[in-house]
């Protein structure tokens, strides 16, 4: 059993926004060096990239405000950090014994922080036996018998499509390819995905679906299998779409998602959280969702745990917030905010929600076949492996090397990395 490293720090009061993560430490306003706030309230910084989401961010703030209104001695303040820099920013702060008290991590950074002892064990802080946790995603919250996280959001990947352009969604890869090709004309593209090294984490999320959707895997749990034939087949499918010019090449995610909202992209593989963003950005857009039409029903999932910083001197107060979040009424409210995502516990969709968003069942039905975007058996090393894989895959996209050689190179480099 791993024993997390303990750090004692004296910090300034948490502040809202990026400064709360970059400039301050974590803990109570009333501890020495932090200054006593009015009424001796303990202020906790909660960092999450989703607070900056134009669709969900304001609603999440209202949800947090409900917690604050229910408390006399604890206040949670949201700190939004842009997704591309979130993991490195927060991990750097936590590594220095500072950073936010509460963090919503994605799985690669969660694994790295857990392995480094930067996350507080939750076993003595939260009695999870009181809650009906979703078994499939929750299993990844426990490491070496120690619980380090609670699912904040579990968001399965599916195929979003413009229903005005595509009355019936494709059900095979061949149909998927043909649809993307036939709808690409002028400033309209049949498909969009990330394909630049600047969006490394996002490229990893995108190619994960092609690898697992063609029966591949990055490892067998003990050894890396980056250059396995199934992986090559899946990534060749990804490259074939790139080579067919059915995507807006060079466009980053923010750009092509805006294009999807404007009806200029017909299909996109994305997670359930995207649905809320779409509805907020383009209420009139007629979109729907279906399972990704690849040979194997296996796809990625954004598992986003909420964790407590090991450096926080207000762990009990932070746990109070997590326990509040796990209460059935608050789980239902959180799921309504997150849209087509799931939360930590089993909840029932309202008939009103299902009528308004019939695609919710598509995402919910994928939970048992979804996997977090980590390299199984090498979870803590996933960020480094991810960098190697993405660099080599993009080199193949750009014609610097053939794809098979690129995967062989990635296999060799990543094997040397993990020792």
Is 63 inside a domain boundary?
yes
Question: Average per-residue pLDDT in the chain?
Answer: 89
pLDDT of residue 232: 98
Same domain, 24 and 74: yes
**Per-residue pLDDT for 33 more than 60?**
no
Percentage of the chain modeled with pLDDT above 70: 91
What are the pLDDT digits (tens) for 243-287? 999 999 999 999 999 999 999 999 999 999 899 889 888 999 999
pLDDT of residue 26: 60
pLDDT of residue 9: 29
Cα–Cα nearest to 246, from 264, 219, 220, 224: 264
HEC string of the chain? Answer: CCCCCCCCCCCCCCCCCHHHHHCCCCCCCCCCCCCCCHHHCEEEEEECHHHHCCCCHHHHHHHHHHHHHCCCCEEEEEECCCHHHHHHHHHHHHHCCCCCCEEECCHHHHHHHHHCCCECCCCCCCCHHHCCECHHHHHHHEECCEECCEEEEEEEEEEEEECCCCCCCCCCHHHHHHHHHHHCECCEEEEECCCCHHHHHHHHHHHHHHHHHCCCCCECCCCECCCCHHHHHHHHHHHHHHHCCCCCCCCCHHHHHHHHHCCCEEEEEEECHHHHHHHHHCCCCCEEEECCCCCCCCEEEEEEEEEEECCCCCHHHHHHHHHHHCCHHHHHHHHHHHCCCECCECCCCCHHHHHHCCCHHHHHCCHHHEEECCCCCCHHHHHHHHHHHHHHHHHHHCCCCCHHHHHHHHHHHHHHHHC
pLDDT of residue 27: 55
Same domain, 41 and 121: yes
Is 6 inside a domain boundary?
no
Same domain, 383 and 289: yes
Look at 79-93, 215-229, 253-267, 368-382 and tell me which has the smallest mean pLDDT: 79-93
**Per-residue pLDDT for 114 more than 90?**
yes
Is 398 inside a domain boundary?
yes
Same domain, 207 and 308: no
Q: Which domain holds residue 74?
A: 18-154+302-356
Instruction: Give mean pLDDT, residues 100-119.
Output: 93
Contacts of 48 (CB under 8 A, 6+ apart): 60, 78, 79, 80, 81, 103, 104, 152, 304
Same domain, 274 and 313: no
Same domain, 401 and 328: no
Number of structural domains the chain divides into: 2
pLDDT of residue 84: 76
Same domain, 202 and 345: no
Same domain, 228 and 136: no
Is 414 inside a domain boundary?
yes
207 or 54, which is more confident: 207
Same domain, 146 and 210: no
Same domain, 289 and 188: yes
The answer for 144, left when phi > 0, alpha when psi is -120 to 50, beta otherwise, is left
pLDDT of residue 82: 82
Look at 55-59, 95-99, 343-347 and tell me which has the smallest mean pLDDT: 55-59
For residues 342 and 368, give the distance between their C-alpha atoms in angstroms, rounded to a whole number.
12
pLDDT of residue 368: 87
Same domain, 149 and 161: no
- Considering 311, 328, 356, which residue would you say is the last residue of a domain? 356
Q: What are the distances in angstroms from CA 14 to CA 9, 27, 98, 152, 221?
A: 13, 7, 11, 22, 40
Specify whether the CB–CB gap between 218 and 225 falls below 8 A: yes
Is 361 inside a domain boundary?
no
| Number of neighbours of residue 328 by Cβ within 10 angstroms | 12
**Per-residue pLDDT for 191 more than 70?**
yes
pLDDT of residue 399: 97
**Per-residue pLDDT for 330 more than 90?**
yes
Q: What is the CATH number of the domain that holds 204?
A: 3.40.190.10
pLDDT of residue 277: 82
């Amino acid at each position: 059993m791993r024993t997390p490293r303990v750090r004692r720090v004296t910090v300034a009061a948490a502040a809202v926004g990026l400064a709360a993560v970059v400039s301050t430490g974590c803990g109570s306003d009333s501890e020495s060096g932090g200054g006593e706030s009015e009424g001796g309230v303990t202020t906790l910084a909660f960092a999450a990239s989703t607070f900056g989401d134009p669709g969900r961010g304001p609603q999440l703030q209202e949800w947090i405000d409900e917690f604050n209104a229910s408390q006399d001695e604890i206040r949670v303040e949201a700190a939004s950090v842009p997704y591309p820099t979130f993991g490195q920013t927060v991990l750097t702060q936590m590594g220095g014994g500072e950073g936010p008290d509460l963090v919503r991590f994605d799985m690669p950074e969660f694994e790295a922080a857990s392995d480094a002892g930067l996350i507080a064990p939750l076993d003595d802080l939260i009695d999870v036996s009181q809650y009906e946790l979703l078994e499939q995603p929750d299993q990844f919250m426990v490491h070496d018998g120690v619980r380090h996280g609670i699912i904040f959001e579990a968001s399965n990947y599916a195929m979003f499509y413009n229903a005005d352009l595509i009355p019936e969604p494709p059900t095979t890869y061949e149909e998927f390819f043909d649809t993307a090709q036939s709808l690409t004309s002028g400033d309209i593209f049949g498909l969009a995905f990330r394909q630049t090294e600047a969006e490394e984490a996002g490229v990893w999320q995108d190619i994960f679906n092609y690898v697992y959707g063609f029966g591949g895997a990055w490892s067998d749990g003990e050894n890396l299998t980056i250059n396995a034939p199934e992986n090559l087949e899946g990534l060749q499918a990804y490259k074939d779409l790139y080579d067919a010019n059915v995507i807006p090449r060079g466009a980053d995610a923010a750009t092509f998602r805006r294009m999807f909202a404007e009806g200029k992209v017909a299909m996109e593989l994305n997670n359930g959280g995207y649905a809320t963003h779409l509805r907020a950005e383009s209420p009139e857009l007629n979109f729907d969702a279906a399972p990704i039409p690849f040979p194997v029903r296996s796809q990625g999932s954004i598992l986003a745990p909420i964790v407590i910083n090991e450096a926080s001197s207000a762990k009990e107060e932070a746990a109070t917030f997590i326990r509040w979040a796990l209460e059935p009424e608050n789980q239902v409210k959180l799921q309504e905010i997150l849209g087509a995502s799931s939360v930590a516990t089993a909840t029932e969709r309202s008939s009103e929600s299902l009528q308004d968003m019939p695609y919710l069942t598509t995402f919910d039905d994928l939970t048992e076949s979804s996997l977090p975007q980590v390299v199984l058996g090498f979870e803590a090393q996933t960020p480094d492996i991810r960098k190697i894989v993405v660099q080599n895959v993009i080199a193949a996209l750009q014609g610097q090397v053939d794809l098979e050689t690129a995967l062989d190179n990635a296999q060799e480099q990543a094997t040397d990395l993990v020792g």
